[in-house]
A and B are shown apart, each in its own frame.
Chain A
Amino acid sequence: NAGVTQTPKFRVLKTGQSMTLLCAQDMNHEYMYWYRQDPGMGLRLIHYSVGEGTTAKGEVPDGYNVSRLKKQNFLLGLESAAPSQTSVYFCASSYSTRGYTFGSGTRLTVV
């Protein structure tokens, strides 16, 4: 099925560890996004990309890095995980602003 695939679905990290979340889309969308969802805070934009090789900061970028080396992939990295980064992470893609497709999420716990 066409869509947005996120890996992994679940992960537990220790404080200070690093990891990379992978988002892949097969719809040839130009735009890709990383959001985090926290209780009481809603969904907030971390970083986004408007095309291969480009990235930009969203509302809550601190502690995260991203890369878009291939059009279909958008990677979110945590260099030194902190408990405050415990969250559910969602990737999304869109063709311009014509509607967004979301992945099923990655549930990350940092202990």
Chain B
Amino acid sequence: KQEVTQIPAALSVPEGENLVLNCSFTDSAIYNLQWFRQDPGKGLTSLLLIQSSQREQTSGRLNASLDKSSGRSTLYIAASQPGDSATYLCAAVMYSGGGADGLTFGKGTHLIIQP
């Protein structure tokens, strides 16, 4: 059974800092890995999707990397802003051959950017 772990569980940093959120997974036979953002009381917003054949994806100030062999992914946020405050979720997708089995989520990193 795939297990996804996110470290740290919570992080508080001053505005402007670059930061790294970590995600690890136990089964390296993933189909892809996705990072989401969740604001309090809201749904999930997709940030980046990395296919298993890729090593990284970038969107604006966000960069996500994937190392299947070590079972790790990182989300790098450059020049953090107070608006980046949210919970960030990492999720792995396994493909069973008969269809998608859905996402296996980590418990998230609660990020606070101090103005």
| Chain A residues at the B interface, C-beta cutoff of 8 Å | 31, 33, 35, 40-45, 48, 50-51, 56, 58, 90, 92, 94, 96-105
**Interface residue B44 (Cβ < 8 Å from any Cβ of A):** yes
Residues of A within 8 A of B49 (CB): 98-99
Question: Would you call the interface of chain A mostly helix, strand, loop, or mixed?
Answer: strand
B32 to A, closest residue via Cβ: A97
Q: Known contacts A97-B31, A99-B49: does B42 contact A105 (CB below 8 Å)?
A: yes
A43 to B, closest residue via Cβ: B105
Check if A33 sits within 8 Å of B43, measured CB to CB: no
Q: Known contacts A40-B107, A43-B89: does B100 contact A97 (CB below 8 Å)?
A: yes
Check if A104 sits within 8 Å of B43, measured CB to CB: yes
Check if A90 sits within 8 Å of B32, measured CB to CB: no
A-contact 0/1 string along B92-107, CB 8 Å cutoff: 0101001111111111
A-contact 0/1 string along B73-101, CB 8 Å cutoff: 00000000000000001010101001111
Q: Known contacts A97-B95, A99-B34: does B44 contact A90 (CB below 8 Å)?
A: yes
Residues of A within 8 A of B89 (CB): 42-43
Check if B34 sits within 8 Å of A104, measured CB to CB: no
Instruction: Show 27 A/B contacts (Cβ-Cβ < 8 Å), sorted by A.
Output: A31-B99, A31-B100, A33-B102, A41-B107, A42-B105, A42-B107, A43-B105, A45-B101, A45-B102, A45-B104, A48-B102, A50-B98, A50-B100, A51-B99, A56-B99, A90-B43, A94-B100, A97-B31, A99-B34, A99-B46, A99-B49, A100-B91, A100-B103, A101-B46, A102-B43, A103-B43, A104-B42
